[in-house]
Structure 1
Amino acid sequence: MPDSATLALPPLRGRVQAEAPLAPFTWFRVGGPAQYLVRPADVDDLLLLLRDRPAHLPLTVIGAASNLLVRDGGLRGITVKLARGFSDIAVEADGIIAGAAALDMTVAEHAAAAGLGGLEFLSGIPGAIGGAVAMNAGAYGSEVKDVLDWAEVATPAGLLRLDNAALGFAYRRSALPAGGVVVRARFRAVPGAAAEIAARMNVIRSAREESQPVRARTGGSTFKNPEGHKAWALIDAAGCRGLRQGDAQVSEKHCNFLLNLGAATAADLEGLGETVRARVAAQSGIALEWEIKRLGEPAA
């Protein structure tokens, strides 16, 4: 297996792996390999990579891969996965500072244990903090933009600390600098009774388990909610609940979720999603927009 020198990468301290399988990292459990998978040791390692990586190799960043579909041909270039060096969580008197690899649920749990309210909604969002900031993740009436003070973003030019306004939040997106990677963020919270905060989190967890296929191989919400509409309702009205393509299925429990029943390919899942989009457009005239990120090359 080539080492970092062979790959003409800078001298990284983290792990570099060629032709690394990505399917085990994704919640769908599908997709081809990464040409090169890099797990930086820490922020300095990531900054070195961003600054000195070969220009001919495209760079993709993945986190918990909970809302990601990697196509069957895999990802060309460098795939960065933030892991151990990016998962620290620090509790402050009126907020939480969390690394990009910290899970949303874990951040919510730390806040609740410290008697800090306002971050309960994170317990209903699968994924990690880096992705939550990048896509302005939201659930149960709150979004990241409602509670974020600042985020630290690694760029080829160095590390930036950007406040809420500078991140340009909108529905399910933010305006990160070109080539920027979220590495850490601070969320403001309100001191409260730990028992009451925990109770609110339990309500969210129960609601999620009752309404979503949380124990299935899925990728979370498939399509964004169009203005004034709910994506699931449009999909249901178009007769797509339970629709299958190979081992890919529209969830019968919540039809804005796609499922891998066991042997689906990324092509099956994406194809089923496009069939859903076509049927919704024909029935309602509304074009659904993918919320799941679809990356990589189709199978050869």
Structure 2
Amino acid sequence: MSETVTGGLAAEIAQSMPELRGRLIPEASLAELTWFRVGGPAEVLFTPADEADLAYFLKRLPADVPVTMVGLGSNLLVRDGGIRGIVIRLGKGFGQIELQGADRLRAGTAVPDVKLARAAADASIAGLSFYRGIPGSVGGALRMNAGAHGTETKDVLVEARAVDRNGEIHVLSVAELDYTYRHCGAPEDLIFSEGLFQGRPGDQAEILAEMNEIANYREEVQPIKSRTGGSTFKNPAGHKSWQLIDAAGCRGLEVGNAKVSELHCNFLINEGGATADDLETLGETVRARVKESSGVDLDWEIKRLGTRG
């Protein structure tokens, strides 16, 4: 194990799992791991060394200890009371990208989406450029069928590898993942470890130009330099969330130090000093006003985890 722990759940785990190689941190701050920069601590934060270490850990973890998975924190709101039990965040052991054949890439789930897009460009593989516009990791993309610019993960994924709560390893085809819009039908206890992506032969210069266009578009229309969590609400069928929010008069709306972006009003912003409760209350206020204005229910796209302080 890469770190010595004392007391509480972390110490119990360390004692019961002598062959564990990953890192255990008790009462670990999660705020700096999220793009919003808010939220309480994890009772225990675990970073496994690799897939085998993750499987070893899950197989031996008592069934009554809750497990929560977090990625790069771009689409995540951790509530002020923090998260009890185990929070797992994948690191270097899940950061590999391998070329398989002429137009396939196998990527670990800690790989940022933008890095996957760049690797595809380096290999002259077209079809994965849309990942340049998604501010998350491969694991998050697999779990929520992330997409942008008309393409979704389900359109380019061949299969995903995952570890279940009992430490068993599974390989699931894209059909078995039961993808729909921003949703994966695979069991929630599965922790994805890697994905195999299918592109097509392309011209590197054209691929890079497409990626630059996507990056420029994001910078023009989204508050990417702010403390935000990306798109807050899913687009309801037949609607765009930002248009409904704008029509409800919520552009620039504030609760505490949380604000609806004036650049793109499906983004919430921590203006500095906001709490997770400020942001969640603001989001629920927006939902209520949109419901009153249009009759449409907005569903959260941002994942909200933990307990309110």
For residues 119-171 of structure 1, what are the alpha-carbon distances to aligned partners after superposition, in whole Å with 9 as ceiling and x for unaligned? Answer: 00000000100010110001000000000000001112511110110110011
- What code does the residue aligned with 1:147 have? V
Cα deviation for residue 295 of structure 1 reads 0.3
Partner of 1:116: 125
For residues 68-118 of structure 1, what are the alpha-carbon distances to aligned partners after superposition, in whole Å with 9 as ceiling and x for unaligned? Answer: 000001000000000110010112311111000000000000101111000
SS state at 2:194 partner: strand
Cα deviation for residue 56 of structure 1 reads 2.3
Q: Does 1:208 align with 2:218?
A: yes
Q: Does 1:134 align with 2:143?
A: yes
CA distance in 1, matches of 2:240, 2:12: 50
- What code does the residue aligned with 2:6 have? P
- What code does the residue aligned with 1:14 have? G
CA distance in 2, matches of 1:123, 1:281: 33
Q: Does 1:76 align with 2:80?
A: no
Partner of 1:181: 191
CA distance in 1, matches of 2:62, 2:306: 19
- What code does the residue aligned with 1:163 have? S
SS state at 1:31 partner: coil
Partner of 1:60: 68
Q: Does 1:24 align with 2:23?
A: no
TM-score, scaled to structure 2: 0.95
- What code does the residue aligned with 2:77 have? L
CA distance in 2, matches of 1:285, 1:26: 32
- What code does the residue aligned with 2:130 have? F
Partner of 2:57: 49
RMSD: 1.1
The answer on whether the counterparts of 2:56 and 2:167 sit within 8 Å (CA) in structure 1 is no
Gapped regions of structure 2 (runs ≥ 5): none
Partner of 1:98: 107
Partner of 1:235: 245
CA distance in 1, matches of 2:226, 2:306: 23
Q: Does 1:34 align with 2:38?
A: no
- What code does the residue aligned with 1:19 have? E
- What code does the residue aligned with 2:112 have? L
Gapped regions of structure 1 (runs ≥ 5): none
The answer on whether the counterparts of 2:54 and 2:167 sit within 8 Å (CA) in structure 1 is no
Q: Which moved more, 1:91-100 or 1:28-37?
A: 91-100
TM-score, scaled to structure 1: 0.97
The answer on whether the counterparts of 1:9 and 1:54 sit within 8 Å (CA) in structure 2 is no
Q: Share of identical aligned residues, percent? A: 54
Determine which of 163, 187, 196 is the counterpart of 2:173: 163
Q: Which runs of 4+ in 1 moved over 3 A?
A: none
How many corresponding residue pairs? 299
Partner of 1:2: 6
For residues 195-253 of structure 1, what are the alpha-carbon distances to aligned partners after superposition, in whole Å with 9 as ceiling and x for unaligned? Answer: 00000111111111100001110000000000000000000000000001111000000
SS state at 1:6 partner: helix
Q: How does 1:182-197 map to 2 (within 5 A)?
A: 182-197=192-207
- What code does the residue aligned with 1:22 have? L
Partner of 1:143: 152
Q: Does 1:153 align with 2:127?
A: no
The answer on whether the counterparts of 2:75 and 2:230 sit within 8 Å (CA) in structure 1 is yes
CA distance in 1, matches of 2:308, 2:131: 33
Cα deviation for residue 50 of structure 1 reads 1.5
- What code does the residue aligned with 1:214 have? I
For residues 6-31 of structure 1, what are the alpha-carbon distances to aligned partners after superposition, in whole Å with 9 as ceiling and x for unaligned? Answer: 34653321000100000000000000
Cα deviation for residue 175 of structure 1 reads 1.6
CA distance in 2, matches of 1:80, 1:10: 16
The answer on whether the counterparts of 2:96 and 2:111 sit within 8 Å (CA) in structure 1 is yes
For residues 34-84 of structure 1, what are the alpha-carbon distances to aligned partners after superposition, in whole Å with 9 as ceiling and x for unaligned? Answer: 000000000011111211112221000111011000000100000000011
The answer on whether the counterparts of 1:218 and 1:259 sit within 8 Å (CA) in structure 2 is yes
- What code does the residue aligned with 1:251 have? S
